[in-house]
């Protein structure tokens, strides 16, 4: 059951990533057409900072789960 859940999560994330790749081109073209390249670079900087902050938060959350669980796997806690 746990393996099946892991595959479901993996394929969901893979699908979301593919949708993001599909939408990336038109969104970049729209921002450049409306506001110019300087706005696009500013947008990339802000999105990179946002991605870094969310990654740090996820890492801190994962560390907290590992420290609080002694017998239960952290993956099982995240899934349930």
The pLDDT value recorded for residue 7 is 80
pTM over 0.75: no
Query: What's the CA gap between 60 and 8, in Å, rounded?
Result: 24
Domain ranges of the chain: 28-80
Please write the tens of the pLDDT for every residue from 30-46: 999 999 999 999 999 99
Contact 40, 48 (CB under 8 A): no
Cβ–Cβ < 8 Å for 76, 2 = yes
Model confidence at 26, pLDDT cuts 50, 70, 90, reads very high
């Amino acid at each position: 059951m746990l393996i099946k859940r892991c595959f479901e999560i993996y394929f969901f994330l893979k699908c979301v990533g593919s949708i993001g790749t599909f939408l990336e081109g038109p969104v970049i073209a729209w921002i450049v057409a409306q506001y110019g390249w300087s706005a696009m670079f500013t947008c990339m900087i802000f999105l990179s900072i946002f991605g870094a902050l969310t990654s740090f938060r996820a890492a801190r959350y994962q560390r907290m789960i590992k420290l609080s669980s002694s017998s239960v796997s952290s993956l099982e806690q995240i899934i349930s």
